[in-house]
């Protein structure tokens, strides 16, 4: 394990060098974070499909428990139980439009991970950096448990647990636990835990920060400790179910799944679950006693328990829906935690947008009216009134607006429009609108996917490391 230890030390140093201006030292977090002895216990696996290039390259890396799809390269990195999903990467010959520029790609885009540590992290989408359209780079970066790096090239960054960076190029930044950033480009920025920031230059700017002392109950992070809080406990309690699906090579097929829907073999499904047409259930999703209506999706690290999703629902990466009834076209953003209870169910009406990283934790039944935007912490009706707004009212905002701890500046109609357009795009990409052989998306294409596994060195100085491997057709 000597090589693995050296690699770990080297990456931590590289991240620290990048973050020296922010005076942020990742070492204390990293020491407790990475169970090096686990690195030889889990196999890595990759998908083979006719729909995406098979071009994988692993070099001087440890990739235990991680999943790879599409074109990716991992060098001098530790990638633990992470999903590197390259099924939305740009393809050779496609055009990239940026302002007045149109750039035609001369090769397929690649996810390029170098000198980085990713723990239970999701990497998905494609690089939105117009300067590197063919390379989705992740370099000198440390991402903690359940972070999402979504279309966001990263150089010299730290992402706390449950942090999401979405469609943003980041350089030398610290993103606090449970923070969500979508801002195009950021550098040398330290973002406090629980910050939700969506900025589109000259168009709109949305900002919310969890009130002091409220977030710690759900997710906490301190040096020399692994992350803790209700969100971590919630996942830990269901860990054994995932162990079961990863232990067996061939799983029993659930017969009731329509041919147009996709249930990943690394998803947990517990009775009684109904799955309608065009549904997508991704790997590491957890579905228990729930109904997924036509076109609904459950992305990586989602939990849907004792709930109904009427149809065309997006449950973005890491979102959790418990004891809830969602009408059609409800969007639940990244890592949101909708925590209804048996005696106090949560109802979300049509067309609602639950902002990424929203927590709804209720002890009495709560109903969210149709076409509303909801954000932040909601534990009762009073907090719902403070942390929600109808999409119609939001669309009328022309310049400045604040409500509770939420600040908004810019064009409300553009903000609503951008969200609606993105939700439509996600549903389309996931195959929610598939009909008569048209509009196929992940739900349909994933059915043509098979998986292979690769194993690490089990003994000697390289224990936990993986052999250098190139996998091509």
Partner 1 sequence: MKNYLVKDLMVPISEYAAVPVGTSLVEAIWVLERAQEVYTENKFQHRVILVFELDGHVVGKISQLRVLKALENEREFDNEIKEMRKFKFSEAFIAHIRDQFSSQKKIIKEEILREVAAKKVEEFMQTLTPGEYVSEDSAIDTAISKLVAGAHTSLLVTRDDEIVGIIRLADVFAALFHEIVSLEEGYPVFPSSPLGFKIPEVS
Find the part of the chain contacting partner 1 (CB under 8 A) among 52-60, 118-126, 195-203, 299-307. 195-203
Rounded to a whole number of angstroms, the minimum distance from the CB of residue 189 to partner 1 is 7
- Residue 414 makes contact with partner 1 by CB under 8 A: no
In a 13 Å sphere around the CA of 102, the CA atoms on its Cβ side amount to 3
- Residue 187 makes contact with partner 1 by CB under 8 A: no
User: What is the C-alpha separation between 299 and 125, in angstroms, rounded?
Assistant: 13
- Residue 402 makes contact with partner 1 by CB under 8 A: yes
Bridge partners of 143?
A: 118, 159
Candidates 73, 181, 63, 68; CA nearest to 137 is: 73
Candidates 433, 414, 31, 389; CA nearest to 202 is: 414
Rounded to a whole number of angstroms, the minimum distance from the CB of residue 197 to partner 1 is 6
Candidates 121, 120, 119, 139; CA nearest to 129 is: 139
Residue ranges in 235-264 that form contacts with partner 1 under rule CB under 8 A: none
Among the listed residues 80, 126, 197, 334, the single contact to partner 1 using CB under 8 A: 197
Residue given tokens 């998986």 in the structure block: 451
- Residue 48 makes contact with partner 1 by CB under 8 A: no
User: What is the dihedral angle through the alpha carbons of 267, 270, 271, 272, rounded to the nearest 10 degrees?
Assistant: -50
**Direct distance between the N- and C-terminal alpha carbons of the chain, in angstroms, rounded to an integer:** 32
Residue given tokens 């989408």 in the structure block: 125
Q: Which residues, including other chains, have CB under 8 Å from residue 276's CB and lie 6 or more apart?
A: 258, 261, 291, 292, 293, 294, 295, 296, 311
Contact 112, 59 (CB under 8 A): no
- Residue 403 makes contact with partner 1 by CB under 8 A: no
Residue given tokens 């006719």 in the structure block: 50
Q: Which two tokens stand for residue 18?
A: 């990048």
Q: What DSSP designation does 446 have?
A: G
Question: Of the two residues 205 and 395, which places its CB atom closer to partner 1 in the complex?
Answer: 205
User: What is the C-alpha separation between 75 and 115, in angstroms, rounded?
Assistant: 7
- Residue 205 makes contact with partner 1 by CB under 8 A: yes
Question: Of the two residues 105 and 189, which places its CB atom closer to partner 1 in the complex?
Answer: 189
Question: Of the two residues 205 and 289, which places its CB atom closer to partner 1 in the complex?
Answer: 205
Find the part of the chain contacting partner 1 (CB under 8 A) among 40-48, 54-62, 239-247, 396-404. 396-404
Find the part of the chain contacting partner 1 (CB under 8 A) among 116-124, 331-339, 399-407, 429-437. 399-407
Q: Which residues, including other chains, have CB under 8 Å from residue 76's CB and lie 6 or more apart?
A: 7, 10, 11, 59, 60, 61, 114, 115
Rounded to a whole number of angstroms, the minimum distance from the CB of residue 207 to partner 1 is 5
Rounded to a whole number of angstroms, the minimum distance from the CB of residue 54 to partner 1 is 41
- Residue 207 makes contact with partner 1 by CB under 8 A: yes
- Residue 209 makes contact with partner 1 by CB under 8 A: yes
Residue given tokens 């065309």 in the structure block: 312
Among the listed residues 399, 436, 450, 472, the single contact to partner 1 using CB under 8 A: 399
Question: Of the two residues 209 and 357, which places its CB atom closer to partner 1 in the complex?
Answer: 209
What count of other Cβ atoms lies within 10 Å of the Cβ of residue 37? 11
Instruction: Give start and end residues of each alpha helix (H) in 161-250.
Output: 230-236, 239-247
- Residue 23 makes contact with partner 1 by CB under 8 A: no
Bridge partners of 191?
A: 175
Question: Of the two residues 208 and 339, which places its CB atom closer to partner 1 in the complex?
Answer: 208
Question: Of the two residues 305 and 377, which places its CB atom closer to partner 1 in the complex?
Answer: 377
- Residue 306 makes contact with partner 1 by CB under 8 A: no
Find the part of the chain contacting partner 1 (CB under 8 A) among 26-34, 70-78, 194-202, 224-232. 194-202
Rounded to a whole number of angstroms, the minimum distance from the CB of residue 408 to partner 1 is 9
How many of the chain's residues bind partner 1 (CB under 8 A)? 13
Rounded to a whole number of angstroms, the minimum distance from the CB of residue 405 to partner 1 is 10
Rounded to a whole number of angstroms, the minimum distance from the CB of residue 190 to partner 1 is 9
Contact 41, 64 (CB under 8 A): yes
Contact 287, 298 (CB under 8 A): yes
- Residue 199 makes contact with partner 1 by CB under 8 A: yes
Rounded to a whole number of angstroms, the minimum distance from the CB of residue 399 to partner 1 is 8
Rounded to a whole number of angstroms, the minimum distance from the CB of residue 146 to partner 1 is 24
What count of other Cβ atoms lies within 10 Å of the Cβ of residue 106? 9
Rounded to a whole number of angstroms, the minimum distance from the CB of residue 398 to partner 1 is 12
- Residue 52 makes contact with partner 1 by CB under 8 A: no
Question: Of the two residues 201 and 380, which places its CB atom closer to partner 1 in the complex?
Answer: 201
Candidates 312, 278, 305, 303; CA nearest to 291 is: 305
Among the listed residues 23, 400, 438, 450, the single contact to partner 1 using CB under 8 A: 400
Rounded to a whole number of angstroms, the minimum distance from the CB of residue 74 to partner 1 is 33
Candidates 345, 324, 327; CA nearest to 336 is: 324
Q: What DSSP designation does 374 have?
A: E
Rounded to a whole number of angstroms, the minimum distance from the CB of residue 199 to partner 1 is 6
- Residue 409 makes contact with partner 1 by CB under 8 A: yes
| Contact footprint for partner 1 (CB under 8 A) | 183, 189, 197, 199, 201, 205, 207, 209, 399-400, 402, 407, 409
């Amino acid at each position: 394990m000597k090589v693995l230890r050296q690699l770990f030390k080297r990456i931590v140093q590289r991240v620290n060098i990048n973050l020296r201006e922010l005076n942020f030292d990742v070492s204390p977090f990293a020491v407790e974070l990475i169970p090096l002895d686990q690195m030889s216990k889990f196999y890595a696996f990759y998908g083979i499909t006719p729909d995406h290039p098979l071009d994988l390259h692993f070099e001087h890396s440890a990739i235990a428990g991680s999943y790879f799809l599409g074109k990716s390269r991992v060098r001098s990195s530790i990638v633990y139980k992470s999903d590197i999903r390259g099924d939305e990467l740009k393809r050779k010959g496609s055009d990239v439009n940026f302002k007045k520029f149109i750039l035609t790609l001369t090769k397929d885009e690649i996810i390029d991970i170098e000198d980085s540590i990713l723990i239970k992290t999701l990497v998905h989408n494609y690089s939105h950096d117009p300067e590197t359209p063919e390379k989705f780079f992740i370099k000198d970066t440390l991402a903690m448990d359940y972070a999402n790096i979504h279309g966001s090239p990263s150089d010299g960054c730290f992402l706390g647990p449950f942090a999401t960076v979405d469609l943003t190029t980041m350089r030398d930044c610290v993103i606090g636990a449970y923070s969500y950033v979508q801002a195009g480009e950021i550098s040398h920025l330290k973002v406090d835990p629980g910050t939700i920031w969506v900025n589109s230059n000259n168009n709109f700017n949305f900002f919310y920060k969890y009130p002091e002392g409220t977030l710690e109950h759900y997710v906490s992070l301190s040096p020399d400790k692994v992350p803790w809080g209700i969100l971590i406990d919630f996942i830990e309690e269901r860990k054994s179910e995932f162990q079961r699906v990863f232990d067996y090579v061939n799983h029993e097929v659930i017969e009731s799944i329509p041919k147009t829907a996709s249930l990943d073999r690394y998803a947990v499904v517990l009775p009684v679950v109904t799955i309608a047409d065009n549904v997508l259930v991704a790997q590491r999703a957890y579905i228990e006693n729930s109904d997924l209506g036509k076109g609904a999706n459950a992305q990586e690290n989602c939990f849907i328990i004792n709930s109904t999703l009427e149809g065309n629902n997006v449950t973005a990466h890491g979102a959790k829906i418990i004891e809830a009834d969602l009408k059609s076209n409800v969007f639940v953003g990244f890592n949101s935690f909708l925590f209804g209870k048996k005696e106090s169910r949560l109802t979300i009406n049509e067309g609602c947008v639950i902002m990424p990283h929203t927590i709804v934790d209720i002890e009495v039944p709560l109903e969210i009216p149709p076409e509303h935007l909801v954000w932040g912490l909601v534990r009762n009706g009073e907090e719902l009134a403070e942390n929600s707004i109808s999409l119609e009212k939001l669309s009328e905002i022309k310049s400045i607006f604040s409500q509770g701890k939420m600040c908004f500046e810019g064009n409300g109609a553009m903000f609503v429009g951008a969200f609606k357009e993105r939700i439509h795009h996600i549903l389309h990409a996931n195959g929610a609108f598939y009909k008569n052989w048209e509009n196929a998306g992940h739900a349909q294409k994933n059915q043509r996917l098979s998986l292979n596994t690769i194993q690490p060195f089990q003994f000697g100085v390289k224990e936990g490391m993986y052999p250098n491997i190139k996998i091509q057709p």
